Amino acid sequence: MLGHLLDAFLISAVPLATDSERQRNSNPHKLSPADPGLIKAFDASDRSNLGHALETAVLNELERRGAEVGSIKTDELTGE
């Protein structure tokens, strides 16, 4: 199913930003909808998704400009 969504350009998969090909292939890709308007289709909760929408818009613009994009892993914020 995931392959079909990628082929239909409904979601984008961003690989891990690393120089190691092995790490890039063994870690899961970060998935995001191809359009901020599709966020509600993938997340039925009533939460505000402004951050996700902005991230999607920035990703789309970077890809449009031909930039090489990658995701990074960070420690989750604890709110302290």
- pLDDT tens, residue order, the chain (80 aa): 888 988 888 888 888 787 887 877 777 788 888 888 888 777 777 777 788 888 889 988 998 999 888 888 777 655 54
CA–CA distance, 1 with 5 (Å, rounded to integer): 6
Report the predicted TM-score, pTM, of the whole model to 2 decimal places.
0.67
11 in Cβ contact with 33 (< 8 Å):
yes
10, 22, 24, 39 from 53: Cα distances, Å: 14, 30, 25, 7
